[in-house]
Amino acid sequence: MTRPRRHIEGQVAALTRRTAGGRFLTRPDANINAIAAYEFARAADRSGVVVHGTMVMSNHLHIVLTDPQARRSEFMRDAMAGFSRARKDCIGFDGSLWDNGSYCDTVLLDREVFEIQLLYVLLNPVKAGLVRRAKDWPGFKIMPSDWEKPMRVPRPDSYYGDDQPESFEFIPRRPPGYDDMSLEEVVAYFEKRLREEENEIHRQRKKKRRRFLGIKAVLATNPFDCAKDLRRKKGRQSVPRYAAFHPELLEQAVSRERAFQSAYRRVRKRWIAGKKRCVFPCGTLWLRRHSPVKCREGDPNEAGLAANYAPHSPTGAPACEALAG
């Protein structure tokens, strides 16, 4: 049995999906950018997730979101399936677009680690030495400047038939935990942090005499090729289910996860045996959606819920490498 995911209404999470074999199958171009916008908008409309940031790289993608209805697994199922069908049709690829297994899902337990993770996502193309500034990345992305701005996302010209919706309205939202700041202030804050981190990357690359690849070379990349370092790597990288800036929150989350897995296995065994009055632990996902089972109520004070993010402190900006997970 696959280890069940524990999804709670209101969790904030970072999601990642990688291409098969690390190939550059999602390399930026007009087609993949249109597909990404349309599939993200459609899947968000269906699942109710709130997207704060995305970065579609050439061989993987990142999404940071809030999950009000605990339906991010449906969001990823629908968006990734749509991605795969449309992109494979465009580039004439017969294999699997995505790697084996499922997407990576990390619950962000506090506001500080959310900030670290969002900056990590937005800095991906800069850290990889592809472009000097995150805003210059030619692939699909959602940046702080996009927050609270309605986007009308049209149906892509290729692959999609007239039976598909002509367009969706999609609104990237500002992050939780910054309610004491105006929209202009929180955008300016993240853009300042982003510039600071970009400048530090520039200093480090200059010391090592490394240049940035540049937009022209990125767009000329063969989508069927893969990074040289990935050719030497075997297996999937381990991704934590939880991350926190404050270690005590991580310890609590790991303990809660172990208790959930134990209770789930125990109750599921009784349920399969036909026992009555089986109540599954809070966070049960698949059975709650597809079977008439009862689940326990959750703890409204649990870490990782958007509503429980501590207010932002302008003097306490976390360092990007200070991550417990």
Query: Residue 262 domain-assigned?
Result: yes
Query: From its phi and psi, is residue 214 left (phi > 0), alpha (psi between -120 and 50) or beta?
Result: left
Check whether residue 239 and residue 252 sit in a common domain: no
What are the pLDDT digits (tens) for 233-252?
555 566 799 999 999 999 99
Look up the domain containing 141 and give its range. Answer: 11-243
Check whether residue 237 and residue 254 sit in a common domain: no
| Residues 226, 23 contacting (CB under 8 angstroms) | yes
Check whether residue 150 and residue 261 sit in a common domain: no
What are the pLDDT digits (tens) for 66-84?
999 999 999 999 999 999 9
- Check residue 323 and give its pLDDT: 47
Check whether residue 53 and residue 196 sit in a common domain: yes
Q: What's the CA gap between 129 and 205, in Å, rounded?
A: 8
- Check residue 291 and give its pLDDT: 84
H/E stretch holding 11 reads strand 11-18
Check whether residue 231 and residue 268 sit in a common domain: no
Check whether residue 34 and residue 175 sit in a common domain: yes
H/E stretch holding 104 reads strand 104-108
Q: Which CATH number covers residue 86?
A: 3.30.70.1290
Q: What's the CA gap between 210 and 212, in Å, rounded?
A: 7
Query: Residue 147 domain-assigned?
Result: yes
User: What DSSP letter does each residue of 16-46 carry, written as one string?
Assistant: EEEBGGGB-TT--SHHHHHHHHHHHHHHHHH
Opening angle at CA 254, ends 250 and 259, nearest 5: 145
Check whether residue 279 and residue 186 sit in a common domain: no
Query: Residue 116 domain-assigned?
Result: yes
Q: Which residue type sits at 7? A: H
Final residue of a structural domain among 243, 274, 306: 243
- Check residue 125 and give its pLDDT: 98
Around Cβ 92, how many Cβ atoms within 10 Å? 7
| Residues 64, 112 contacting (CB under 8 angstroms) | no
Check whether residue 149 and residue 267 sit in a common domain: no
Check whether residue 114 and residue 191 sit in a common domain: yes
The residues of the chain scoring below 70 in pLDDT are 1, 229-238, 313-325
H/E stretch holding 279 reads strand 279-280
Around Cβ 71, how many Cβ atoms within 10 Å? 20
Domain count, the chain: 2
- Check residue 310 and give its pLDDT: 83
Query: Residue 322 domain-assigned?
Result: no
- Check residue 227 and give its pLDDT: 82
According to DSSP, the residues that pair with 152 across neighbouring strands are 169
Check whether residue 155 and residue 227 sit in a common domain: yes
Query: Residue 324 domain-assigned?
Result: no
Check whether residue 121 and residue 30 sit in a common domain: yes
Q: What's the CA gap between 240 and 325, in Å, rounded?
A: 6
Q: What's the CA gap between 281 and 194, in Å, rounded?
A: 40
Sign of torsion over alpha carbons 43, 45, 46, 49: positive
Query: Residue 106 domain-assigned?
Result: yes
Q: Which residue type sits at 133? A: R
Query: Residue 266 domain-assigned?
Result: yes
Check whether residue 205 and residue 75 sit in a common domain: yes
Query: Residue 4 domain-assigned?
Result: no
